[in-house]
Amino acid sequence: MTESLQVQLRKGVLELCVLALLAQHESYAYELASRLAGDVGMGEGTIYPLMRRLQNDGLVSTYLVESSSGPSRKYYRLTAAGRAAFAAQKADWLDFVSAISRTLGESR
């Protein structure tokens, strides 16, 4: 796969991946970025603007947790709207993957 296609695919699914991780458990941005870097090769710098947008859109809420190793950490959790957005995006993604698989001659 060409590098530009990989970059575009990653950008296209970043929000879905973040919502999926937050559906599993509440987390802080650096932890999300580290997980995404390991799982899908996503760069750390892309997560912070996305987290601000998700908060502005009402999909996540935040709270601070004291840290013994430094400043307080801002944790993110899904709101009801965030859980609904995750469910809708996941369904859309699964439909898309199924359509692409059919187009490529793969059975799913």
pLDDT in tens, 20-69: 999 999 999 999 999 998 888 777 788 999 999 999 999 999 999 998 88
CATH 1.10.10.10 fits 3-103, yes or no: yes
- Can you give the pTM of this predicted structure? 0.87
In this predicted structure, the answer to whether residue 108 has a pLDDT above a threshold of 60 is: no
Calpha distance 5→88 (Å, rounded) = 24
Q: What is the DSSP letter of 17?
A: H
Which residue type does 55 have? Q
Question: Is residue 107 very low, low, confident or very high in pLDDT (cuts 50, 70, 90)?
Answer: low
| pLDDT for the residue numbered 67 | 84
Contact between residue 14 and residue 46 where contact means Cβ atoms under 8 Å apart: yes
Contact between residue 22 and residue 16 where contact means Cβ atoms under 8 Å apart: no
In this predicted structure, the answer to whether residue 7 has a pLDDT above a threshold of 70 is: yes
Rounded to the nearest 10 degrees, what angle do helices 29-40 and 3-24 cross at?
130
